[in-house]
Every structure is written in structure tokens, then in C-alpha cells.
Amino acid sequence: MKSFTQKILTAALTIMLVSCGGKTVQENAVKPPIAKQSHNRDNLRYIPVPRLAGRWTVEDVLQDYGTHSVKKLNPYFKRANVPYPPSEIIFVALKEEKKLELWAKGDGEFRFIRDYPIQAASGISGPKLRQGDRQVPEGVYRITTLNPNSNYHLSMKINYPNEFDLSHAQEEGRFDPGGDIFIHGKAKSIGCLAMGDEAIEELFVLAAHVGKENIKVVIAPRDPRVLPLDTEAEYLPYWTGELYDQIASEIQMLTPPVSMSKNSTVSQTSSQ
């Protein structure tokens, strides 16, 4: 009996470890059917909603979190003089700084809106190469899926591996470059960007309002506006320089005013 129990616990732990970026458990796996509750934070109380976990739609998320999330986002958009919802947005994820910047535009140029702390992002500087390396990928990506039934509260899937990743994997004989990379809630990561639940609610609602086809995601080892990206480390593949040129080109056109960069994250309490 003890041996059987140990096997069950080991199996459960394995599922938890691979479900973020691996393929053993898909990100859209249905959770146990427990009642979901609506967060009516304006009244500081919860209103039960007759929906089961695993059966939520994007529309359900917008109904439950939309009003409050937009209320929190509006001061940032007004300060940047960008209408809400914007026509396009860019997420800039900086590994070393553990920060996700939000940029948006209406009819004009992209403007800095705010940033969010990244709660967890596994791995080190450098691109993702294979399944199981626990690396957060680096590159220029798109959002492919908004998942309201994530094991990590809510999630947005990026298109890793993209054409650049696949071409170099094929060239080098890497037949399993990995996949299932998400921006999600909670504070645990194995190759994904974990933003915490409140932040992912805002980002998910924003993405739904903008449309995933109008979202770009740039993931960098560090901010190239501060220091050039290092391509000299021995463990980096020979094509890292080409990749980092692409990343730097995308980020360096986004230069926040000093006043915004120093005060990028307004107190949560001031916007609630």
C-alpha cells in the first residue's frame, strides 16, 4: 500500500512539473468541476456564478473580470494619451529585469503604458532549444490562443516555435524544440512567463479587447536599450547574433519617457 501511494504522489508531482511548458499535460486540460466565483472587488465581496471550471469561455472571463480590469488599466492609458482599447499592443518581456512592459498605440506611435513584475520565469539567458530544457524562449512572437481554462488561472499561448526557431532546429537536427509556452497566472514557471493572477486578468482582458492578431510579444534576455545583448557566451548557438539583432530592433524603437520609466507601475491601491 505504501509503494502504491508513493507511485501516485510521484505521478502527481510529475504532472505538476511538466504542465507549464511540456506536453504531458496540455495547458487547456479541464480542471476538477468546482464552482467558479465572480470577483466583485468594487463591493469587496464575491458573487457565485453557476459555471464549472474547465467550461469557461473568453466571454465569461470578460463578464467576470472585464469591468474591473478596464477600470485599473484606464488611468495608465489616459496618462499615455492612448485610447482604450488600443488598435495594437506589444508585450516586451525582459528576463534579467523580470519585467513585462506593455506598449500600445491608437492612431499614432506606440507609447509606454505600464509594466508588470514577472513572478517566475525559469531558465537562463539564451534561446529555448529543446523540449524539457525549461528555458523561456527568446524572440519575436504572436499570441495564438486565449485560454480561459488554464491550470494557471488564465493564459495566453505564444507561437513558439516560430519560423525562425523551426528553421534552426531543423538545420541542427533538433527534432523536438518544445512548445506549449504561455503567459499565465500564478507564480510558477517551467519555460513560461508567470505573471500572477491579478496581472493576467488585466492582460487577458486587454488581449481579448484588442484581438490576438494585433498583439506582438518580444522576449529578450535583458533590455538592449540599457546594454547591448551579449552573444559571446560559449553555450549560445552561432545564430544568436541574428536573433538578438531582431529582438533589439523591435525593442529599441520603444523608448519610454524618463518620467514614465521611473514611475511605470502605479500603486494597485490607487487604481482600485
Each residue of 233-248: b (16+ CB within 10 Å) or e?
eeebbeebeebbeebb
Task: Find out whether 158 and 141 touch, Cβ atoms under 8 Å.
Answer: yes
DSSP sequence for the chain: -HHHHHHHHHHHHHHHHHTTTSSSS-TTPPPP--EEEEEEGGGTEEEEEEEETT---HHHHHHHHHHHHHHHHHHHHHHHT--SS-SEEEEEEETTTTEEEEEEESSS--EEEEEEE-SB--S-SS---STTS-PPP-EEEEEEEEETT-TTSSEEEE--S-HHHHHHHHHHT-S------EEESSS--SSSEE--HHHHHHHHHHHHHH-GGGEEEEEESS-TTTSPPP---TTS-TTHHHHHHHHHHHHHT----HHHHHT-S--GGGG-
| Catalytic, out of 39, 153, 192, 209 | 192
Q: Residue 15: what residue type?
A: I
Annotation says 20 is catalytic: no
Residue among 68, 153, 168, 184 flagged as catalytic: 184
Q: Which residues are catalytic?
A: 184, 192
